[in-house]
Amino acid sequence: MQPTQFSSGDVIADRRADYARMLAEGGDPAAAAELMEQALELAPAWAAGWVRLAEYLEKAERPSDAAPALRRVLELDPQDIFGAGLKLALLGEVATPDKPPSRYVEALFDDYADRFEAALVERLDYSVPGKLARLVRRVRGETGAFECAVDLGCGTGLFGVEIRSGVKRLEGFDLSANMLAKAEEKGIYDHLARSDLSLPAGDSGLFGDGLPARRADLVGAADVLMYLGDLSNAFALAAALAAPGAVFAFSVEDAATKDGFHLAPSLRYAHSESYVRGALHAAGFETTEIERTVIRMDGGKPVSGILFIAIRQG
Protein backbone atom coordinates (compact mmCIF):
# COMPACT_ATOMS: atom_id res chain seq x y z
CA MET A 1 0.00 0.00 0.00
CA GLN A 2 1.54 3.26 -1.14
CA PRO A 3 0.58 6.25 1.05
CA THR A 4 1.27 8.55 -1.92
CA GLN A 5 -2.08 7.44 -3.30
CA PHE A 6 -4.03 9.23 -0.58
CA SER A 7 -4.74 12.96 -0.42
CA SER A 8 -4.76 14.92 2.82
CA GLY A 9 -7.73 16.98 1.68
CA ASP A 10 -5.64 20.15 1.99
CA VAL A 11 -4.15 21.49 -1.25
CA ILE A 12 -1.17 23.16 0.41
CA ALA A 13 -0.41 20.10 2.55
CA ASP A 14 -0.56 17.91 -0.55
CA ARG A 15 1.81 20.24 -2.39
CA ARG A 16 4.32 20.16 0.44
CA ALA A 17 4.01 16.37 0.61
CA ASP A 18 4.75 16.18 -3.13
CA TYR A 19 7.88 18.30 -2.65
CA ALA A 20 8.86 16.06 0.26
CA ARG A 21 8.49 13.00 -1.95
CA MET A 22 10.74 14.58 -4.59
CA LEU A 23 13.36 15.35 -1.95
CA ALA A 24 13.24 11.78 -0.69
CA GLU A 25 13.54 10.38 -4.20
CA GLY A 26 16.49 12.73 -4.71
CA GLY A 27 18.31 11.22 -1.76
CA ASP A 28 17.59 13.74 0.99
CA PRO A 29 15.19 12.00 3.43
CA ALA A 30 16.04 14.41 6.27
CA ALA A 31 14.82 17.41 4.26
CA ALA A 32 11.83 15.36 3.10
CA ALA A 33 10.90 14.61 6.71
CA GLU A 34 11.12 18.29 7.65
CA LEU A 35 8.81 19.29 4.81
CA MET A 36 6.45 16.43 5.61
CA GLU A 37 6.20 17.65 9.20
CA GLN A 38 5.11 21.03 7.83
CA ALA A 39 2.46 19.32 5.71
CA LEU A 40 1.13 17.47 8.75
CA GLU A 41 0.85 20.69 10.72
CA LEU A 42 -1.79 21.63 8.15
CA ALA A 43 -3.40 18.17 8.05
CA PRO A 44 -2.78 16.51 11.42
CA ALA A 45 -5.43 13.79 10.85
CA TRP A 46 -3.84 12.54 7.62
CA ALA A 47 -2.91 8.93 8.47
CA ALA A 48 -1.15 8.26 5.15
CA GLY A 49 0.93 11.40 5.67
CA TRP A 50 2.16 10.14 9.04
CA VAL A 51 3.12 6.85 7.38
CA ARG A 52 5.17 8.76 4.83
CA LEU A 53 6.81 10.84 7.54
CA ALA A 54 7.82 7.67 9.39
CA GLU A 55 9.33 6.30 6.17
CA TYR A 56 11.43 9.42 5.65
CA LEU A 57 12.55 9.45 9.29
CA GLU A 58 13.67 5.81 9.04
CA LYS A 59 15.64 6.56 5.88
CA ALA A 60 17.19 9.55 7.66
CA GLU A 61 18.33 7.10 10.38
CA ARG A 62 15.98 8.53 12.98
CA PRO A 63 13.99 5.41 14.00
CA SER A 64 13.21 6.77 17.48
CA ASP A 65 11.37 9.66 15.78
CA ALA A 66 9.64 7.34 13.33
CA ALA A 67 7.97 5.32 16.10
CA PRO A 68 5.74 8.20 17.41
CA ALA A 69 4.62 8.87 13.83
CA LEU A 70 3.59 5.24 13.44
CA ARG A 71 1.74 5.32 16.75
CA ARG A 72 -0.13 8.36 15.47
CA VAL A 73 -1.14 6.29 12.42
CA LEU A 74 -2.64 3.64 14.69
CA GLU A 75 -4.57 6.30 16.61
CA LEU A 76 -6.05 7.61 13.37
CA ASP A 77 -6.59 4.21 11.77
CA PRO A 78 -7.24 1.44 14.34
CA GLN A 79 -7.84 -1.11 11.54
CA ASP A 80 -4.24 -0.42 10.48
CA ILE A 81 -4.64 -0.40 6.72
CA PHE A 82 -1.02 0.78 6.42
CA GLY A 83 0.55 -1.95 8.56
CA ALA A 84 1.92 0.54 11.10
CA GLY A 85 1.90 -2.12 13.82
CA LEU A 86 4.16 -4.35 11.70
CA LYS A 87 6.55 -1.45 11.16
CA LEU A 88 6.64 -0.73 14.88
CA ALA A 89 7.53 -4.38 15.45
CA LEU A 90 10.44 -4.10 13.04
CA LEU A 91 11.64 -1.06 14.97
CA GLY A 92 11.55 -3.12 18.16
CA GLU A 93 8.87 -0.92 19.69
CA VAL A 94 6.25 -3.68 20.08
CA ALA A 95 6.19 -7.46 20.05
CA THR A 96 5.94 -9.12 16.64
CA PRO A 97 2.26 -9.88 15.98
CA ASP A 98 1.24 -13.41 15.04
CA LYS A 99 -0.48 -12.08 11.93
CA PRO A 100 -0.84 -8.80 10.02
CA PRO A 101 -4.08 -6.79 10.10
CA SER A 102 -6.54 -8.24 7.59
CA ARG A 103 -7.36 -4.77 6.29
CA TYR A 104 -3.69 -4.15 5.56
CA VAL A 105 -3.38 -7.37 3.50
CA GLU A 106 -6.69 -6.77 1.74
CA ALA A 107 -5.82 -3.19 0.81
CA LEU A 108 -2.31 -4.17 -0.24
CA PHE A 109 -3.57 -6.66 -2.80
CA ASP A 110 -6.61 -4.66 -3.89
CA ASP A 111 -4.13 -1.92 -4.82
CA TYR A 112 -1.69 -4.39 -6.38
CA ALA A 113 -4.12 -6.44 -8.48
CA ASP A 114 -3.82 -4.60 -11.81
CA ARG A 115 -0.01 -4.84 -11.90
CA PHE A 116 0.45 -8.02 -9.85
CA GLU A 117 1.37 -10.44 -12.62
CA ALA A 118 3.60 -8.02 -14.50
CA ALA A 119 5.44 -7.09 -11.31
CA LEU A 120 5.96 -10.62 -10.01
CA VAL A 121 6.38 -12.72 -13.11
CA GLU A 122 8.10 -10.30 -15.48
CA ARG A 123 10.25 -8.26 -13.09
CA LEU A 124 10.70 -10.35 -9.94
CA ASP A 125 11.07 -13.81 -11.54
CA TYR A 126 8.25 -15.19 -9.41
CA SER A 127 8.19 -18.96 -9.90
CA VAL A 128 6.23 -20.57 -7.04
CA PRO A 129 3.06 -21.63 -8.96
CA GLY A 130 4.94 -23.60 -11.60
CA LYS A 131 7.39 -25.16 -9.16
CA LEU A 132 4.66 -26.12 -6.71
CA ALA A 133 2.48 -27.61 -9.46
CA ARG A 134 5.39 -29.70 -10.71
CA LEU A 135 5.99 -30.99 -7.21
CA VAL A 136 2.31 -31.90 -6.87
CA ARG A 137 2.38 -33.81 -10.16
CA ARG A 138 5.54 -35.65 -9.14
CA VAL A 139 4.01 -36.73 -5.85
CA ARG A 140 0.64 -37.57 -7.38
CA GLY A 141 2.14 -39.84 -10.01
CA GLU A 142 -0.29 -41.65 -12.31
CA THR A 143 -3.28 -41.79 -9.97
CA GLY A 144 -5.35 -39.50 -12.15
CA ALA A 145 -6.97 -36.09 -11.77
CA PHE A 146 -7.96 -34.50 -8.49
CA GLU A 147 -11.70 -34.40 -7.90
CA CYS A 148 -11.69 -31.06 -6.08
CA ALA A 149 -8.84 -28.61 -5.56
CA VAL A 150 -9.08 -25.57 -3.29
CA ASP A 151 -6.66 -22.74 -4.12
CA LEU A 152 -6.20 -20.70 -0.93
CA GLY A 153 -5.12 -17.11 -1.53
CA CYS A 154 -5.61 -17.70 -5.24
CA GLY A 155 -4.71 -14.14 -6.20
CA THR A 156 -5.01 -13.64 -9.95
CA GLY A 157 -5.05 -17.39 -10.56
CA LEU A 158 -1.42 -18.18 -11.36
CA PHE A 159 -1.42 -21.46 -9.44
CA GLY A 160 -4.88 -22.30 -10.74
CA VAL A 161 -3.62 -22.07 -14.32
CA GLU A 162 -0.84 -24.52 -13.50
CA ILE A 163 -3.12 -27.19 -12.00
CA ARG A 164 -6.38 -26.74 -13.95
CA SER A 165 -5.74 -29.54 -16.43
CA GLY A 166 -5.39 -32.08 -13.62
CA VAL A 167 -8.42 -30.98 -11.59
CA LYS A 168 -12.11 -31.72 -12.16
CA ARG A 169 -13.37 -28.92 -9.89
CA LEU A 170 -11.28 -25.89 -8.98
CA GLU A 171 -12.23 -23.44 -6.23
CA GLY A 172 -10.38 -20.21 -5.50
CA PHE A 173 -10.49 -18.05 -2.37
CA ASP A 174 -8.80 -14.74 -1.65
CA LEU A 175 -9.09 -11.82 0.76
CA SER A 176 -8.88 -9.26 -2.05
CA ALA A 177 -11.94 -8.59 -4.17
CA ASN A 178 -9.77 -7.07 -6.91
CA MET A 179 -7.59 -10.17 -7.05
CA LEU A 180 -10.68 -12.36 -7.33
CA ALA A 181 -11.93 -10.23 -10.23
CA LYS A 182 -8.63 -10.83 -12.05
CA ALA A 183 -8.86 -14.57 -11.34
CA GLU A 184 -12.40 -14.65 -12.71
CA GLU A 185 -11.20 -13.14 -15.99
CA LYS A 186 -9.12 -16.27 -16.59
CA GLY A 187 -12.26 -18.44 -16.67
CA ILE A 188 -10.59 -21.42 -15.00
CA TYR A 189 -12.34 -21.56 -11.61
CA ASP A 190 -15.62 -23.32 -10.93
CA HIS A 191 -16.13 -21.26 -7.77
CA LEU A 192 -14.53 -18.05 -6.48
CA ALA A 193 -15.23 -16.37 -3.16
CA ARG A 194 -13.69 -14.07 -0.59
CA SER A 195 -12.02 -15.62 2.46
CA ASP A 196 -9.76 -14.69 5.37
CA LEU A 197 -7.26 -17.34 6.48
CA SER A 198 -6.73 -15.61 9.79
CA LEU A 199 -10.32 -16.31 10.92
CA PRO A 200 -11.87 -19.48 12.38
CA ALA A 201 -13.55 -21.89 10.00
CA GLY A 202 -17.06 -20.55 10.53
CA ASP A 203 -16.01 -17.00 9.69
CA SER A 204 -13.34 -17.73 7.09
CA GLY A 205 -15.62 -17.79 4.05
CA LEU A 206 -14.38 -21.23 2.98
CA PHE A 207 -17.59 -23.06 3.84
CA GLY A 208 -20.27 -20.66 2.61
CA ASP A 209 -22.80 -21.38 -0.13
CA GLY A 210 -23.34 -24.89 1.22
CA LEU A 211 -19.76 -25.97 0.56
CA PRO A 212 -18.98 -28.98 2.76
CA ALA A 213 -15.95 -29.66 4.89
CA ARG A 214 -13.41 -32.28 3.76
CA ARG A 215 -14.40 -31.82 0.12
CA ALA A 216 -10.91 -31.37 -1.33
CA ASP A 217 -8.32 -33.92 -2.33
CA LEU A 218 -5.89 -31.07 -3.13
CA VAL A 219 -5.44 -27.89 -1.11
CA GLY A 220 -2.94 -25.35 -2.39
CA ALA A 221 -1.50 -22.15 -0.94
CA ALA A 222 1.11 -20.70 -3.28
CA ASP A 223 2.97 -17.70 -1.84
CA VAL A 224 0.22 -16.98 0.69
CA LEU A 225 1.43 -18.08 4.11
CA MET A 226 4.17 -15.44 4.29
CA TYR A 227 1.34 -13.04 5.09
CA LEU A 228 0.72 -14.95 8.31
CA GLY A 229 3.08 -15.54 11.22
CA ASP A 230 1.37 -18.20 13.30
CA LEU A 231 0.23 -20.84 10.80
CA SER A 232 -1.92 -22.90 13.17
CA ASN A 233 -5.24 -21.37 12.06
CA ALA A 234 -4.43 -21.59 8.35
CA PHE A 235 -3.41 -25.24 8.76
CA ALA A 236 -6.60 -25.96 10.71
CA LEU A 237 -8.60 -24.53 7.81
CA ALA A 238 -6.65 -26.66 5.34
CA ALA A 239 -7.35 -29.71 7.52
CA ALA A 240 -11.06 -28.89 7.57
CA LEU A 241 -11.08 -28.67 3.77
CA ALA A 242 -9.01 -31.80 3.14
CA ALA A 243 -10.39 -35.30 2.86
CA PRO A 244 -8.28 -38.11 4.37
CA GLY A 245 -5.33 -38.70 2.06
CA ALA A 246 -5.63 -35.28 0.44
CA VAL A 247 -2.52 -33.43 -0.73
CA PHE A 248 -1.68 -30.07 0.87
CA ALA A 249 0.83 -28.12 -1.24
CA PHE A 250 2.16 -24.72 -0.19
CA SER A 251 5.17 -22.45 0.04
CA VAL A 252 6.77 -20.37 2.77
CA GLU A 253 9.71 -18.00 2.85
CA ASP A 254 12.67 -19.72 4.49
CA ALA A 255 13.56 -18.22 7.87
CA ALA A 256 16.96 -19.96 7.73
CA THR A 257 16.69 -20.63 11.47
CA LYS A 258 16.24 -23.81 13.46
CA ASP A 259 12.77 -22.96 14.71
CA GLY A 260 9.99 -20.41 14.79
CA PHE A 261 9.14 -17.59 12.41
CA HIS A 262 10.05 -13.93 12.12
CA LEU A 263 8.84 -10.76 10.46
CA ALA A 264 11.12 -9.64 7.62
CA PRO A 265 11.77 -6.02 6.55
CA SER A 266 9.47 -6.73 3.58
CA LEU A 267 6.62 -7.00 6.15
CA ARG A 268 6.26 -10.66 5.18
CA TYR A 269 6.88 -13.55 7.56
CA ALA A 270 9.55 -16.19 7.11
CA HIS A 271 9.17 -19.65 8.67
CA SER A 272 11.62 -22.35 9.64
CA GLU A 273 11.24 -25.90 8.35
CA SER A 274 10.91 -27.34 11.85
CA TYR A 275 8.19 -24.84 12.79
CA VAL A 276 6.17 -25.72 9.69
CA ARG A 277 6.60 -29.46 10.20
CA GLY A 278 5.40 -29.16 13.80
CA ALA A 279 2.38 -27.06 12.87
CA LEU A 280 1.46 -29.51 10.11
CA HIS A 281 1.66 -32.46 12.49
CA ALA A 282 -0.53 -30.67 15.03
CA ALA A 283 -3.15 -30.07 12.32
CA GLY A 284 -3.24 -33.72 11.25
CA PHE A 285 -0.86 -33.65 8.27
CA GLU A 286 2.24 -35.70 7.53
CA THR A 287 5.03 -33.93 5.67
CA THR A 288 6.12 -36.05 2.72
CA GLU A 289 8.17 -33.73 0.48
CA ILE A 290 10.07 -30.48 0.84
CA GLU A 291 12.03 -28.53 -1.72
CA ARG A 292 14.21 -25.49 -1.07
CA THR A 293 14.26 -23.01 -3.92
CA VAL A 294 14.48 -19.33 -4.87
CA ILE A 295 10.90 -18.10 -5.08
CA ARG A 296 11.38 -14.52 -6.31
CA MET A 297 13.74 -11.57 -6.39
CA ASP A 298 13.36 -8.68 -3.96
CA GLY A 299 15.50 -5.56 -4.18
CA GLY A 300 17.75 -7.37 -6.63
CA LYS A 301 18.38 -10.21 -4.19
CA PRO A 302 16.98 -13.77 -4.30
CA VAL A 303 14.35 -14.72 -1.73
CA SER A 304 14.74 -18.28 -0.48
CA GLY A 305 11.65 -20.38 0.12
CA ILE A 306 10.54 -23.88 1.00
CA LEU A 307 7.90 -25.83 -0.91
CA PHE A 308 5.98 -28.39 1.14
CA ILE A 309 3.83 -31.37 0.27
CA ALA A 310 1.84 -32.86 3.17
CA ILE A 311 -0.82 -35.56 3.31
CA ARG A 312 -3.99 -35.33 5.41
CA GLN A 313 -4.08 -38.20 7.85
CA GLY A 314 -7.27 -40.15 8.47
pLDDT band at 299 (very low <50, low <70, confident <90, very high): confident
Q: What 3-state DSSP class applies to 245?
A: strand
Give the C-alpha distances (Å, rounded to integers) separating 220 from 51, 121, 129, 238, 310: 34, 19, 10, 9, 10
Q: Can you give the pLDDT at residue 295? A: 92
- pLDDT tens, residue by residue, 211-251: 999 999 999 999 999 999 999 999 999 999 999 999 999 99
Q: Where are the domains of the chain?
A: 3-95, 110-312
Contact 149, 222 (CB under 8 A): no
pLDDT value, residue 2: 45
Query: Distances from the Cα of 5 to the Cαs of 14, 37, 49, 205, in angstroms?
Result: 11, 18, 10, 30
CA 172/CA 145 separation, integer angstroms = 17
Share of the chain above pLDDT 90, in %: 86
User: CA nearest 222: which of 287, 140, 135, 297?
Assistant: 135
How many Cβ atoms from other residues are within 10 Å of residue 139's Cβ? 14
Question: May I ask the CATH architecture of the domain 110-312?
Answer: 3-Layer(aba) Sandwich (3.40)
Q: Look up the pTM and report it.
A: 0.92
Helices first, then strands: H and E counts in the chain:
13, 9
Nearest Cα residue to 1 out of 79, 96, 112, 99: 112
Question: Which pLDDT belongs to residue 1?
Answer: 41
Domain with residues 3-95, CATH architecture: Alpha Horseshoe (1.25)
- Average per-residue pLDDT in the chain? 94
207-to-23, 131, 141, 216 alpha-carbon distances in Å:
50, 28, 29, 12
